[in-house]
Amino acid sequence: MPSPHHRNRSSRRRNFRPWSERLEARALLAVDLDDQLSEAVLLGPVASSRSVAGTISEAADVDMYAFEVQAGQVVEFDIDTPTNGVPGLGSYIRIFDANGTQLAANNDAQAPDEPQPPSGASHVSTFFDSYVRRTFGTAGVYYIGVSNWENTQYSAAEGEADFVGSQHLTGPYTLTISAVHPNVYIDRGADGLWGWTVGVGVAPLNSGNPEAMAVAQDGTLFVDFGPNGLWTRTGAGFVQINPANPQNMAVAVDGSLYLDYGPFGLWRLTASGLGIINGANPENMVPAADGSLYVDYGTFGLWRLTASGLRIVNGANPENMVPAADGSLFIDYGQFGLWRMTAGGGSISQISVANPEGLTAAPDGTLFVDYGPFGLWTWIAGSITRISSGNPEGFDVGRDGFLYVDFGRFGILRRSPTGSFVLIVTEDPEALAG
């Protein structure tokens, strides 16, 4: 039986049938009060990732959960048990629509973040845990049933037709349901906002034409739709969070959003609301790994915002900048070359005399540099190397750590950690955000 570990207990109300009816229909399973659609534990919209703990307490036990998705949403369902093998539960999961029709099922499958089987063993013969990834074409409420590996043909609509097997039938489990965010978001101008996801490909997300995009560490997308204001993409679809049109935005490591409203100054959006930070008009801003914010005030220099306030860290006017995972900052000073400032707005040193056209950094510390007609380069621990002779129009690192490059009419290519480029989208985008 499940025991969800979350605060919103009101969302777990169960629609029980009358006691006499349950006894008559299921006399042998009177204690299994959540094995059909009408009795499902309500989990709500799949916006990010959540886990619930449960137990298959007897051979014919089924635990049913209800969840809500948007059209085109990709969701992962992962069962984890304490042993993932003998002597624990051999799990089985089934996905149903609102009518109880099975859409997908799995006995033993390896989740992307799980270890490989021992040498010479297969996942099916070694591990018991289940995993499913599914794309939902239609928005609505769906259901997932958890049982043991031999009880696989029960009726989700009626809670009947259970099968009592012989081994690996009971035990505790954790079910994790996760929204799979696109690896990279694609602005296709008048054709709207799209997303590309591994195993799914490219899919439309919104028909609006974005002016700018920013992605939080948890995959939350913020979109500036120009005169239509600022929006975010959640499990409930696109939701407007402010009608004003920002000139720029950046997501901090804590999920808060910094907004440049031009002559109206620099603002910060948190769960508590929108508040002004400074009335001056910034030219650019980037959040650092330590939670601070670097702000380019043009001819007034480069500043750093912390909990202690705003202070200047360099008087020169940068053309571009990008934060590194170690807290340092890479700065493009145009004709004066590419520089690196140590964490906390510390010392600054030149790493290249050439003038870059674009910068982005990967979680492993790799800096990608666009030198225009001289190609695409990497800077790693003091060593700079050309990785492509092509001239990119834009690029960004996706949530998977891969580099996505817009090569204009040649489409979007994805660079693997081994260095190979693979074409993933043939169309020419206007912008990318990872």
pLDDT band at 19 (very low <50, low <70, confident <90, very high): very low
Find the mean pLDDT for residues 347-373.
Answer: 95
Write down the pTM of the prediction.
0.75
User: 């499913």: which residue's tokens?
Assistant: 132
Task: List, as one string, the DSSP characters of 160-180.
Answer: ------SSS--EEEEEEEEE-
CATH number of 77's domain? 2.60.120.380
Q: Is residue 169 part of a domain?
A: yes
401 residue type, one letter: G
d(CA 14, CA 38): 8
Is residue 146 scored above 70 in pLDDT? yes
The alpha carbon of residue 316 and the mean position of all alpha carbons in its chain are separated, in whole angstroms, by: 36
User: 């817009």: which residue's tokens?
Assistant: 406
How long is the chain? 434
Higher pLDDT pick, 296 / 58 = 296
For 309-336, how does the pLDDT look when each residue is reduced to its tens digit (9 = 90+)? Answer: 999 999 999 999 999 999 999 999 999 9
Q: Is residue 415 part of a domain?
A: no
Is 52:2 a contact under the CB 8 Å cutoff?
Answer: yes
Q: Is residue 195 part of a domain?
A: no
Higher pLDDT pick, 121 / 426 = 426
For 185-240, how does the pLDDT look when each residue is reduced to its tens digit (9 = 90+)? Answer: 999 999 999 999 887 889 889 999 999 999 998 888 999 999 999 999 876 579 99
d(CA 91, CA 80): 9
Instruction: Please give the pLDDT value at position 403.
Output: 96
410 residue type, one letter: F
Find the mean pLDDT for residues 255-283.
Answer: 95
179 residue type, one letter: A
d(CA 315, CA 338): 16
Is 41:53 a contact under the CB 8 Å cutoff?
Answer: no
Is residue 348 scored above 60 in pLDDT? yes
Is 198:400 a contact under the CB 8 Å cutoff?
Answer: yes
d(CA 297, CA 34): 59
For 156-193, how does the pLDDT look when each residue is reduced to its tens digit (9 = 90+)? Answer: 988 777 777 777 788 999 999 998 888 999 999 999 99
Find the mean pLDDT for residues 97-117.
Answer: 85
Domain that holds residue 136: 2-179
Q: Is residue 236 part of a domain?
A: no
User: 């950690």: which residue's tokens?
Assistant: 417
Percent of the chain residues past pLDDT 90, beyond the cut: 69
Q: Is residue 58 part of a domain?
A: yes
Q: Is residue 145 part of a domain?
A: yes
For 391-408, how does the pLDDT look when each residue is reduced to its tens digit (9 = 90+)? Answer: 999 999 998 889 999 999
Average pLDDT, the chain: 87
Instruction: Please give the pLDDT value at position 418.
Output: 84
Instruction: Please give the pLDDT value at position 126.
Output: 55
117 residue type, one letter: P
pLDDT band at 113 (very low <50, low <70, confident <90, very high): low
Query: Nearest Cα to 107, choosing from 125, 86, 134, 82?
Result: 125
Instruction: Please give the pLDDT value at position 431.
Output: 96
Token pair for 246 = 């920002």
d(CA 420, CA 97): 40
Q: Of 23-32, 67-76, 280-289, which range is least confident?
A: 23-32
Backbone angle region of 156, left / alpha / beta, with phi > 0 → left and psi within -120 to 50 → alpha: alpha
Q: Is residue 162 part of a domain?
A: yes
Task: Please count the structural domains in the chain.
Answer: 1
Q: Of 64-78, 81-95, 112-126, 320-334, which range is least confident?
A: 112-126
94 residue type, one letter: R
Q: Of 114-118, 247-251, 272-276, which range is least confident?
A: 114-118
Percent of the chain residues past pLDDT 70, beyond the cut: 88
Query: Nearest Cα to 331, choosing from 346, 351, 311, 312?
Result: 351
Q: Is residue 159 part of a domain?
A: yes
